[in-house]
Structure 1
Amino acid sequence: MHLRLHGAHRNLPKAFAGRGSRIYDLVARRVLRGFYRRLADDVSATAPQGGAVLDVGTGPGVLLVELSRRRPDLHLTGIDLSADMVGAASRNLGPRATVRVGSVTELPFPDRSFDLIVSSLSLHHWDHPEAAVPELARVLRPGGRLQIYDFRFAPFDTLTGAAREASVFTERPPERTTIRTGIPLFPRCVRYTAG
């Protein structure tokens, strides 16, 4: 279903480059702000004191902005495929977080770098979600948590299968919960947690 709806996203960085990144930045900050506030409340409740948090597919960094307001104790990092999105995130965040260009299938971080990994409205864009699972597990600290928020059609089953196959996220098996977004266009999304 995922591939039928979205196909391969080989040109995703181009879609979120230049004008596309400016448009999405505006939409994320204005139209989706309430959604990101709800996610920030949810993430803030689970992030450990002084924890290191990675936002995969950070886009213009709106979730990190909201997290920094709620939890100034957190060490926030964002990663995105699009250099223009990383530029927008840097402008929106200033010194509150570190953002860099990178792929979820080749995370540019040492092993066990993060206590919490989050991703919002990004999974459905990943070309190879099964290849992301070992990388996410690699950079997550023991006892850490993965929280992915996305549309119901995102390839959550692929993540679960890859986690089972790689024998990762066994401490806290993957679980899906439907949550309200506060956005009339898409009133619900799925929160996928593992650890």
Structure 2
Amino acid sequence: MSLFKKSLKGIAAGVCAVGLCALARKVKSRVGTLDIAQSLEGIPFPGTDLYSFLATRELKPMYTEMAGEILKEKEFHKLLDISTGLGYMPIELALHCKDCLVIGMDESADMVRIAEDNARASHVRNTVDFVTGSVTNLPFPGRYFDLVTSINVLHHWEDPVSVMEEIYHVLLPGGEFWIYDYRYETPQKVWDDAKERLPLYLRLPFTIGPVGGWKAAYAERELRRMIEGTRFEVLSIEPKTFTIFEQKLPAFTLARLRKPSTTTD
């Protein structure tokens, strides 16, 4: 098999691992009959390497833009990115916040391995740590971080409220949880037009990956109702534009939540 064909196969298979998990979660939540074998947080090898092949070029700019937005908004010191995948968010944060403690956590040991390699290639391996752990049982002490982030993974969690309670526990009083995800209210035409601008070999990965994530995402009313079941304060929920597949798409949502500064928990 030629290198070109292997590359195409890798892109398609890696995105399938992500997109199908997203769609499966939506089906399970609304139908209740589908048993999900795995979620994004636990993509097995070789899916991790295939996903890495795709994300390095097509998704990495998004993380750069998100990290810039975070660090411009407020000064943070101890940062955790959960379900970190390839580690691009912690890497970008570490690159631009030299004095920060930055940790990325993923359920997949293979993802953590790749994230460490990516950090090494970006010359921040000594300033960012990666650990294996579950979002339903975070391996960190209480009141430790002043920022936790999650990037396009909310729609993968089987019980988001329970995950948010875990995050609440590890945040300092006044600490924030930034949730980035695909925006369900994005018009279909935005995705259709973006797909048409892509070369043919990227259209299937785009459809199964980002478009699949969009279809599985929560509507804003669902997100607000979900947050009401937690102890977080809502700072803002707003639409966002980021670059994926070399296109700026107004297809994302940012929810900024805060742990009350007066809490005794």
Compare CA radii of gyration and give the structure with the larger one: 2
Tell me if 1:139 matches 2:170: yes
Shift of 1:20: 0.9
Map of 2:241 onto structure 1 = 180
Deviations 1:116-157, CA, capped at 9 Å, x for gaps: 001111112111112112111111111111101111243365
Q: CA deviation at 1:163?
A: 3.8
Question: Percent identity at matched positions?
Answer: 30
**How far off is 1:103 after superposition?**
1.5
Question: Which residue of 2 is the match for residue 115 of structure 1?
Answer: 146
Pick closer, same or farther for the CA change 1:191–1:131 going to 2, 3 Å: same
Correspondences of 1:55-134 after superposition (within 5 Å): 55-93=81-119, 94-134=125-165
Secondary structure, aligned partner of 2:229:
helix
Shift of 1:100: 1.1
Deviation at 1:28, TM superposition (A): 2.1
Contact between 1:9 and 1:125, CA under 8 Å: does it hold in 2?
no
TM-score (normalizing by structure 1): 0.86
User: 1 CA distance for matches of 2:36 and 2:84?
Assistant: 17
- The corresponding residue for 2:27 is 4
What is the alpha-carbon distance in structure 2 between the residues aligned to residue 13 and residue 191 of structure 1? Answer: 20
Q: How many residue pairs get matched? A: 191
Q: Output the TM-score relative to the length of structure 2.
A: 0.65
More helix by share: 2
Q: 1:186 offset after TM fit, Å?
A: 5.0
Relative to structure 1, is the Cα distance of residues 8 and 65 closer, same or farther in structure 2, using a 3 angstrom cutoff? Answer: farther
Tell me if structure 2 keeps the 8 A contact 1:133–1:162: no
Give the gaps of 5 or more residues in structure 1.
none
Amino acid at match of 1:179: K
Displacement over 3 Å in runs of 4+? 5-10, 155-163, 184-187
2:253 corresponding residue in structure 1: 190
